[in-house]
Structure 1
Amino acid sequence: MPNPRYAAYKPAAPYFDLVRRALGNLVDGEHFFDAVTDETIYEVLYDVPGWPRVIKGRLDLMAAFRGYVGAIRLQSADKLVVHRTDEGAVVVIEYEVHGTILATGVEYDNRFCSIVRIENRKILHWRDYMDSLAAWNALTALAQGATP
């Protein structure tokens, strides 16, 4: 049974489930947030309005994802490719997410590559790359059925 502490993040469940599956037995915890600590650095190498480039710690990461789930609902995450290096201390994951921008109803499809460093069975550092044009197009598109 899913942890009720994370019920508010259900709109991003496909992402969290895919990541947790990708990291497998390299990290502890049932949910993505169980695998991060107060020292975890979550870094994104792109600019999205309202999303910080660097987030430090579990509570700030959870707060940032509250904004994410307030703006985007994911229907699925797929095309997972996992590359384990350095005896599992570094994992590179490639994947896609598919969802809807809640404010406009516009479909959102994006591709990501994340480099995850693991230490003591927790995520130490997360570096994220994405298709910035796909995000820009979805976030700036007119509402479904709207006319310019």
Structure 2
Amino acid sequence: MPKTKYAAYKAADPYFNLVRRALGNLVDGEHFFDIVTDDTIYEVLYDLGWPRVIRGRAALMDAFNGYVEIINLQSADNLVVHTADTGYVVVIEYEVHGTVLATGTKYDNRFCSIIHLENRKIAHWRDYMDSHAAWSALTPRSRQRESL
């Protein structure tokens, strides 16, 4: 993996490595950002501070820059890969484990992502996650009690 080109994103490497491993020989490129199209669409079906739809590789890189300023991932595991449409659609289930940098709170979350490939790159990504796990890790305990 090119270490210097994407060094600023090191805190998300466990996620990037898991995705790259999941897609194997279905895509070309070493790093996650190398395997997305320039006009990729990255869609998240939850509302926790990320834009619901990110359009383009450059915008996706900007979004991940913000992510690594908040969370440092130590690992990503429990990968399950399902392929469909003769490899043009891949569904991955996985977990990430890390730390919220501002508070030191543990961050553990589960995801299911539906990936559409075109020309051996990610053209569209639709993400589902355990929103409560993210909210619990990112929201101070005092605010959690207030909202109950």
Bin the TM-score by the shorter chain.
Answer: over 0.9
* Alignment partner of 1:39 is 2:42: no
The list of structure 1 runs, each at least 4 consecutive aligned residues, that deviate by more than 4 angstroms after superposition, is none
Residue correspondences, number:
142
TM-score (norm 2): 0.93
Residue 14 of structure 1 corresponds to 14
Once the two structures are superposed, residues 69-122 of structure 1 have per-residue CA deviations (whole angstroms, 9 ceiling, x without a partner) of 000000000000000111100000000000000000000000000000001001
Partner of 1:28: 28
Matches of residues 108-119 of structure 1 in structure 2 within 5 Å? 108-119=107-118
Offset of residue 4 of structure 1: 1.0
- Compute the displacement of 1:39 (Å): 1.3
Amino acid at match of 1:62: M
Map of 1:74-89 to 2, 5 A cutoff? 74-89=73-88
**Gaps in structure 2 of 5+ consecutive residues:** 142-148
* Deviations 1:4-24, CA, capped at 9 Å, x for gaps: 110000000000000000001
Q: Partners of 1:104 and 1:4 in 2: how far apart?
A: 28
Question: 2:104, 2:76 → 1: CA distance?
Answer: 18
Please give the per-residue CA displacement for 1:4-56, whole angstroms capped at 9, x wherever unaligned: 1100000000000000000011111000000112210000000012x100001
Q: What percent of counterpart residues are identical?
A: 76
Q: 2:4 maps to what in 1?
A: 4
Aligned-pair distance for 1:141?
Answer: 3.4
Aligned to 2:103: 104
Q: Is the 8 A contact 1:106 1:141 kept in 2?
A: no
TM normalised by structure 1 equals 0.93
Does structure 2 conserve the Cα–Cα contact (< 8 Å) formed by 1:36 and 1:58? yes
**Gap regions ≥5 residues in structure 1:** 143-148
Query: Partners of 1:68 and 1:25 in 2: how far apart?
Result: 27
1:2 CA drift (Å): 2.8
Alpha-carbon contact 1:114-1:126 (below 8 Å) kept:
yes
Secondary structure at the residue paired with 1:5?
A: coil
